[in-house]
Chains A and B, each alone.
Chain A
């Protein structure tokens, strides 16, 4: 297939004004809208994280006061979770590729899709507005009773998260419906690419779990504005119930963040091992398994909140259980590599980094899931390190892998692979320098959310701070290279990696109408026979 001009990127040969983007109902353009907006907020989040680290370079207030530090880690958490990692993979790649991968020309509800993006932007505007007014200082968890008392703009921040949740729900509804209704002839459920399976499982969690967070946030607003008393001990309420409702959503939300990333990795591994993926069904089922068991483990965030011992044991047990489906995936990826004829492409290097970092994240998670050890490690840097390994080392690196895998399709141009490989290495080193010392600091007792520390922690803190510099260098390398590639890189062929899924069988970039004729699917997504 030849490269036919700018495809969906142009309007009758012209690039088209801004309104042809922000009012477009084309799933590909909406995917690009999300790409640009989400990455912009990621830059904001990284800057905040970078500043937090810098604050700790010497004792006492260095570049900010304690209260500012509180606001900065709150905003960092909110931005990274609700504006970056939750929407990143589903809203960018899900929007752009899910319809193409199942052989459809769009999602089921294109206008609703555009509305989700507008909600996303509204939520983002509200969240960033608090930055000017007086950012919340509660941590991203908004725990009662502090969140009911603090003088900062908690209600606004909470409402921002509510609006973002609405956007997330609408996207989920759209994807579930699309997968059920718009699969091309021959595209049975067992021929769905694993990325589609992952986004599908995620969409269900978004639909089922997000409303519970939503109403919890509304309750916080009602408490602050009217004082309805449900979380207020003075009126007979109970702040612990806030924690329950919060984690009933927010633990499954962890899987909203990671499952699509796992889906990306499941696409990349077989392509670069030139082999049918090992255990296709096991991987698909394990996504559903994680979605299911993952809804029963929220109590592991509350081992020291005064819940009963029995509850602790049960939640600890389920936490161990939920590690199994995640491990199944890791084994299957590694099993796919075994005896494959491996091509060391950039996306593949990122995927390897993902497997390594995600495994550390998962194993430290098991340590935290053990009841007795948790009492010691709770609210220390060990936890901070653990969730950065999962969310950044896992979901974040998977997202970067996806960027390097799919951007040539999205933009029709290729980035410089040598620079990309180097940036992967720098990121990997920077990441471990930044976050591995935090594991040790945590074991030694360094508490999280402190803007200062005791002298004995100095050495490891400095190592970690230098790590943040290396990491940011890697990020700059990566993004500059990708952006240059997107605008000036050489034209990408329609199938640069020799993939078998449908999105690679159409031109790069795709035409406006994905398929002139809806394809008839006759083989599985990882059947490489007949490809190079």
Chain B
């Protein structure tokens, strides 16, 4: 599935820092490099996933793509054109091409506005339609996302979480975009409707030939929806791979750990879970080395090679469309089920000051069941 057509969206060494102003530094603020040299290429019509723990920079990437934030370095190209400096009419045109579905539909819908007004915005702003024509289009949007046109006169509080997110999706679709960034579109929803909304997104993506950048901390949801996946850690890309490659031969120790904590996809038993020591913010990664080093199981198994601390591993291609940012990824190209008891033993050893923590992957009861797309809740 990888590499269909030419890239629609390219991130070229994109970096975003926060708190970098001289005033902030004066006040003792830390500079956060939320996104650190991210290079990605997303093909037209593809569903591309971005996964990572909380704080890995997923939202920041998404907000830069939709121009809610500007990168501090690097370029973002849409159909070959750098969009990071667009202004005025050109920016408005870009906004017709790229839309966003927000994480929390309780926050992303203005409580004081009727659904109709929110959906009509696009037509008014871009002068796409007016009068009866616009009314018809708005009604069609509602039906497209599995809501009824009679609901147009309601306010957001009259809807359930799933319905609200459907409205959020309808609004994103109202300009007929080419690309939609969906930032954790189901994580704020009631568990019972998450699968329905994921199904809706998948259906729309296929039906409308949309390109979707799907952001999630839930590797399971990502593999359900996406043909290719990038794994982010502390603002850096650890691994990019087609879904199959990721599931079957995850190369990066971080990805392997994520997979291991996902029983439904992990090879072998569902009981043993690989753990990642420490929390994402626990240890400062060594400057100049690999950001994952403080928590890396592979590095431990290899006897703590110096290279991990002195040289940043840049993504390199293992096979077609499968890149990994680890010096030693090929040493063990498969998640080694047998090594786990040993790993657990090491975790209990005296050399590890932090307690083992599970990566933030939700519990197995949240496996999205593939059900019908249309049903409303």
- Note whether A and B form a binding pair: no
B residues touching A (Cβ–Cβ < 8 Å)? none
A residues touching B (Cβ–Cβ < 8 Å)? none
